[in-house]
Amino acid sequence: MKRVLVGGAFDVFHYGHLCLLEWAKSLGDYLIVQVISDKRVRYKKGPERPIFPEKERIAIVKAIRYVDKIYFSTYPVRSNPVLKAIKETKPDIYVRNIEGNKETLEEERTLCKRLGIKIIFHHDFPEGKNKIHTTKIIESI
């Protein structure tokens, strides 16, 4: 069974999130979705975020038919939650946002290489479906 890990805030869940989860699921047999904590979202996106609290975001993502398991854990805000998720879930494939934290990319690559985990980036996502951004949706409202 091929296990896939993908993560995100999933704050103001939208069509792009749904397409991402469907696509990530198509890469394997078992999809694990990491939902990051409210504290981490505030640290990354500012004091006005998240719009929806972690319990609600988890419930929404969990209800998506492509999702087999939710991975949630709290971390020190400045740490990289992905490293812990990778170590604990041991996926075969880790789907990473190419626009994500550039400072942690090498650390994630090194860990995945050591554990034999393939990294696939969001830019490999079907054309046009990855152009939706929650921040832009919030700004337009």
Q: HEC string of the chain?
A: CCEEEEEECCCCCCHHHHHHHHHHHHCCCEEEEEECCHHHHHHHHCCCCCCCCHHHHHHHHHCCCCCCEEECCCCCCCCCHHHHHHHHHCCCEEEECCCCCHHHHHHHHHHHHHHCCEEEEHHHCCCCCCCCCHHHHHHHC
In one letter, which amino acid is 100?
G
- Percent of the chain exceeding pLDDT 90 equals 60
C-alpha 58/C-alpha 54 separation (Å) is: 6
Query: For residue 12, which phi and psi values (nearest 5 degrees)?
Result: 60, 70
Is there a domain that residue 6 lies in?
no
Q: How large is the average pLDDT for residues 78-106? A: 87
Alpha carbons 54 and 44: distance in angstroms, whole number? 15
Does residue 94 sit within a domain? yes
Q: What pLDDT band is residue 98 in, cutting at 50, 70 and 90?
A: confident
In a domain, 5, yes or no: no
Instruction: Give the count of domains, the chain.
Output: 1
- Nearest 5°: CA angle at 125, between 124 and 128? 120
19 located within any domain: yes
pLDDT at 27 over 70: yes
pLDDT at 25: 97
What is the pairing mode between strands 93-96 and 69-71?
unpaired
User: Does residue 4 lie within any of the structural domains?
Assistant: no
Banded model confidence at residue 131, pLDDT cuts 50, 70, 90: low
Whole-number pLDDT of residue 15 = 85
What CATH number is attached to the domain comprising 45?
Answer: 3.40.50.620
C-beta neighbour count of 133 within 10 angstroms = 12
pLDDT tier at 16 (50, 70, 90 boundaries)? confident
